[in-house]
């Protein structure tokens, strides 16, 4: 039986050469983001953005919830994959980083599909539950502060419809999840969520060893 191959730089370059379809607008936003403080570590890989767009299409999504906007690269990828009239509701603590992406959203002609909500994400999620009700999103993407991942997952599980998909980023967290010496709140929170997901009967799951770890959880 074949085992997982090592994703060497040469393998990644090959995959990009035969798979990645990043256009100039996305490439420019990714380059700009990488120049920001901690931008390279915080931004999603181009391949992950392309995967998110594919998942939006596979879910026939018209309503997407994103927890953690940053500069809006993933927001743009998902908004482009929506049909006319579709919406990405994206949450961030303040408007500093989403403001960078706003110009790129306009250039890509999808700004009207993006609804930015600013403030504490837990409170915004509670507000969305009251505003839109349960089962109101087709797909949710979680990529925000790691210590609150458990809270965000539970909120997303309520807001995403049965049969909908929750995508959770950074579930391998730079490899710290397997390092016993890593006992910081972020790593502990991700370990706890990973363990809980394994036993959660409400979802079907698959953890992908792609990027920094991506877990897919389909609500039953």
Predicted pLDDT of residue 75: 98
Predicted pLDDT of residue 38: 85
Predicted pLDDT of residue 6: 82
Distance of alpha carbon 217 from alpha carbon 209, whole angstroms? 15
Predicted pLDDT of residue 39: 87
Predicted pLDDT of residue 81: 98
Whether the Cβ atoms of residue 194 and residue 207 lie closer than 8 Å to each other: yes
Burial of 216 (0-12, 13-18, 19+ CB in 10 A): middle
The beta strands (E) that lie in 152-197 are given as 160-169
Quick one: which of 165, 178, 161 has its CA closest to 213? 178
pLDDT in tens, 32-87: 999 998 888 899 999 999 999 999 999 999 999 999 999 999 999 999 999 999 99
Claim: this prediction has a pTM higher than 0.75 = yes
Quick one: which of 129, 116, 140, 132 has its CA closest to 56? 140
Q: Is the pLDDT of residue 207 over 90?
A: yes
pLDDT in tens, 113-171: 999 999 999 999 999 999 999 999 999 999 999 999 999 999 999 999 999 999 999 99
1 falls in which pLDDT band (50, 70, 90)? low
Quick one: which of 67, 76, 94 has its CA closest to 157? 67
Distance of alpha carbon 216 from alpha carbon 59, whole angstroms? 12
* Angle value at C-alpha 181, between 148 and 200, nearest 5 degrees: 40
Question: What is the chain's mean pLDDT, rounded?
Answer: 96
Whether the Cβ atoms of residue 115 and residue 90 lie closer than 8 Å to each other: yes
Name the fold adopted by 9-219: Rossmann fold (3.40.50)
């Amino acid at each position: 039986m074949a085992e997982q191959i090592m994703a060497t730089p040469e393998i990644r370059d090959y995959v990009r050469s035969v798979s990645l379809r990043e256009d100039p607008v996305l490439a420019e936003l990714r380059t700009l983001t990488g120049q920001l403080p901690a931008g390279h570590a915080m931004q999603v890989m181009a391949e992950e953005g392309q995967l998110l767009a594919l998942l939006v299409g596979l879910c026939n999504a018209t309503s997407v919830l994103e927890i953690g906007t940053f500069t809006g690269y993933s927001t743009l990828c998902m908004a482009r994959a929506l049909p006319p009239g579709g919406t990405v509701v994206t949450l961030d603590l303040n408007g500093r980083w989403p403001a960078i992406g706003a110009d790129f959203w306009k250039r890509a002609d999808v700004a009207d599909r993006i609804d930015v909500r600013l403030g504490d994400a837990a409170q915004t999620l509670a507000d969305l539950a009251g505003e839109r009700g349960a089962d109101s999103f087709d797909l949710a993407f979680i990529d925000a502060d790691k210590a609150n991942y458990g809270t965000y997952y539970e909120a997303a599980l309520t807001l995403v419809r049965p049969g909908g998909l929750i995508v959770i980023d950074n579930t391998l967290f730079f490899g710290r999840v397997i390092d016993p010496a890593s006992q910081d709140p972020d790593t502990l929170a991700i370990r706890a969520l990973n363990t809980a997901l394994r036993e959660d009967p409400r979802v079907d799951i698959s953890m992908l060893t792609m990027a920094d770890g991506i877990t897919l959880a389909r609500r039953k």
